[in-house]
Structure 1
Amino acid sequence: MKVLVCVKRVVDYNVKIRVKSDGTGVDVANVKMSMNPFDEIALEEAVRLREAGVATEVVAVTCGVTQCQETLRTAMAIGSDRAILVESTDELQPLAVAKILKALVDKEQPGLIILGKQAIDDDSNQTGQMLAALAGLPQATFASKVVVADGKATVSREVDGGSETLSLKLPAVVTTDLRLNEPRYVTLPNIMKAKKKPLETLKLADFGVDVTPRLKTLKVVEPPKRSAGVMVPDVKTLVEKLKNEAKVL
């Protein structure tokens, strides 16, 4: 069984985000970029499935600029067998990415597609669900446990009222939550091995899909700075301030 893992290049989670002076977006010039943490979890799960003998091949996929090759090399160092980059300088919103991934699914015919539940840059939480809808595949989101056997994937996931277990007939789409696993560290020998693994670069024009943005960002602003706390002499004063100033009562 082939497992297709979708990864995204994002600003590293340790970097303090800066908004552009004109408010058009986030400044990503000269900042550290890395693989989306939720996608690392998805990749780790795919590699574990291969190590367990359930999967035979793990393919990492991403869409974006040429620099995304670095993210794919990291994916191959973690354990992906090969990688595919769909090169594009256009703004790719979740629906556009889902359309591209659908075309890749048609080409690669994987038995399982795994994605992180969301990317930490836009927090959209849409691509996996849109891909499943476009491809007509069953889906399970926010997976905290995945078991693949007998042509089915059994997925445990947390819901508001507790937890639930879903049984999906393969091929299927699964998005991963934080509790699924803990990704392994990338070792130097595996980084060297990754340089020899195949990385295929495709052009967006090869897919013939409409990636026109459907949403327009009007303005990006930093959240307001937190004001200093105020000491109150008694409970009565606190209640009055909560009622009259904070207006939460």
Structure 2
Amino acid sequence: MEIVVCVKQVPDTTEVKIDPVTNTLIRQGVPSIVNPFDKNAMEAALQLKEKHGAKVTVLSMGPSQAQDALKECLAMGADQAILISDRAFGGADTLATSYTLAAAVRKLGSYDIIFCGKQAIDGDTAQVGPEMAEHLGIAQITYVANLELAGDRAQVEREHEEGYEIIEVKLPVLVSVIKSLHYEPRYPTVRGTMKANRTEITVWTAADLDVEEQRLGLKGSPTQVRKIFTPPRRTQGVVIQRDTAREAVAELMHRLADSKIV
């Protein structure tokens, strides 16, 4: 069985700052981490590897420093890591990113399951995984809490607003994984970390993939971000104190009317 896990290196959201002049994220000096939901996806893949003897390939698109994220996944137990990195991929939105990742999956050859985290914590779009499935022409199931295999089929427990539903699907399939008790990410072992540090990450550029140049990076991205800004801090509210509730309500309505809220 061949399993592919797509991961993304993201800024630690507790440290994100925005340049007030350029309205872009300040990445310099900001620590980067493996997207937390992608770690859940990684754990799902590793559990299948332990049960069924699968080979796990971890795939990421990003700059050279994204190798750190891939090495962490290798330390967790992945068998192979590939970084897709090229200036031509810069500025890619979800459509261009999913197109590029799908091309990389095709280059890998055979695959049975593609795991993604449900979304990245920097963009929160939850679009790349499903768009990859569309590019590849395979089934997709989102918000997966658990997955079990039975021959060439997978039985999936999918979370939704009112509970869970059980879906059966024929392989190959792409699934996006939520934070789940079934898939609490394991810690890398010391031996795994040492092995990962010795492993050379394979890097693929645009020239290594069967892609159309106009569909990559900024050229292939129909999404345009006009402005990014930090919301103003909330000011402290006004406390109205009167002798009776009726007087307090009357004062409140008076202030709301003066502010033209009502």
TM-score, normalized by length of structure 1? 0.91
- Show the counterpart of 1:200: 202
Cα pair 1:2 1:55 within 8 Å, conserved? no
The answer for the alignment partner of 1:240 in structure 2 is 253
Report 1:152-167 matches (<5 A). 152-167=153-168
1:163/1:246 CA distance change after superposition, 3 Å? farther
Sort the Cα spacing of 1:51 and 1:198 in 2 relative to 1 into closer, same or farther, 3 A. Answer: farther
Decide whether aligned partners of structure 1 residues 242 and 122 sit closer, same or farther in structure 2, where only a CA change above 3 A counts.
farther
Q: 94-103 or 164-173, which moves further after superposition? A: 94-103
CA RMSD of aligned residues (A): 2.1
Match of 1:128 in 2: 129
Q: Secondary structure at the match of 1:195?
A: helix
Q: 1:240 aligns to what SS in structure 2? A: helix
Moved beyond 6 Å, runs of 4+: none
- The code of the aligned residue for 1:218 comes to R
Gaps of 5+ in 1: none
Match of 2:228 among 220, 226, 231: 220
Change (3 A) 1:47 1:232: same
Does 1:84 find its partner at 2:82? yes
Q: 2:239 aligns with which of 231, 234, 243?
A: 231
Contact 2:15 2:31 in 1 (8 A): no
In the alignment, is residue 33 of structure 1 matched against residue 32 of structure 2?
yes
In the alignment, what sits opposite 1:64?
Answer: 62
The runs of 5 or more residues in structure 2 that have no matched partner are: none
Say which SS state the counterpart of residue 154 (structure 2) adopts: strand
> How far did residue 243 of structure 1 move?
6.0
Give the drift of 1:198. Answer: 4.9
Percent identical residues: 30
Query: CA separation in 1, counterparts of 2:79 and 2:129?
Result: 22
d(CA) in 2 for partners of 1:156, 1:97:
27
| TM-superposed deviation, 1:201 | 0.7
Distance 1:149 1:227 in 2: 56
CA drift of 1:24 comes to: 3.1
The superposition leaves residues 13-43 of structure 1 with CA deviations (integer Å, 9 ceiling, x where unpaired) of 4x32110122431111111001000101101
SS in 2 for 1:34: strand
Contact 2:118 2:126 survives alignment (8 Å): yes
CA contact (8 A) 1:81 1:197 kept: no
Using the TM superposition, give the Cα deviation of residue 187 of structure 1 relative to its aligned residue in structure 2, in angstroms.
Answer: 3.1
1:81-113, Cα deviation, whole Å (9 max, x unpaired): 110111123122211121122112222221000
**In structure 2, C-alpha distance between the alignment counterparts of 1:235 and 1:61, rounded to whole Å:** 62
**Other structure's SS at 2:15 match:** coil
- Amino acid paired to 2:239: M
Paired residues of 2:41 and 2:176 also in contact (CA < 8 A): yes
**Larger Cα-atom Rg:** 2
Equivalent in the alignment of 1:190: 192
Cα distance in structure 2, aligned partners of 1:38 and 1:23: 29
Shift of the 214–205 alpha-carbon distance from structure 1 to 2, 3 Å rule, reads farther
1:104-142 CA distance string (max 9 Å, x none): 222222100000011011111101110111111111101
Tell me, in whole angstroms, the C-alpha distance in 2 between the residues paired with 1:2 and 1:246: 62
State the SS of the aligned residue for 1:67. Answer: helix
Taking structure 2 as the reference length, the TM-score comes to 0.87
Partner of 1:74: 72
Indicate yes or no: 2:149 matched with 1:148: yes
Change (3 A) 1:203 1:230: same
Distance in 2, matches of 1:184 and 1:142, equals 20
Give the distance between the partners of 2:117 and 2:134, measured in 1 at CA.
17
Q: Deviations over 1:223-242 (max 9, x none)?
A: 12111133232655366389
